[in-house]
């Protein structure tokens, strides 16, 4: 079972969009565009996820 975590390899700021993209097996660019175009609400969701999600501690 896969758990939603912040990405350690696909990150620009905190790794939230990369983690969501890895969880749903889609491109992180698509997730970032969705977050961008749904702006005021997505900022709150992003901040919530950035604080609550665990880091993905994979070593590459």
Using one digit for the tens of pLDDT, what is the confidence trace for 3-56? 899 998 888 889 999 999 999 999 999 999 999 999 889 999 999 999 999 888
Cβ contact 44:8 at 8 Å: no
Tokens for 45, please give them.
Answer: 């969701």
Q: Tens digit of pLDDT for each residue in 5-20?
A: 999 888 888 999 999 9
For the chain, the structural domain boundaries read: 16-52
pTM for this structure?
0.84
Please report where in the chains the tokens 């900022």 appear, as a residue: 43
């Amino acid at each position: 079972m896969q758990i939603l975590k912040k990405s350690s390899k696909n990150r620009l700021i905190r790794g939230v969009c990369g983690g969501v993209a890895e969880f749903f097996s889609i491109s992180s660019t698509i997730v970032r565009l969705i977050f961008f175009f749904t702006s005021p609400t997505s900022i709150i969701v992003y901040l919530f996820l950035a604080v609550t999600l665990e880091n993905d501690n994979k070593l590459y």
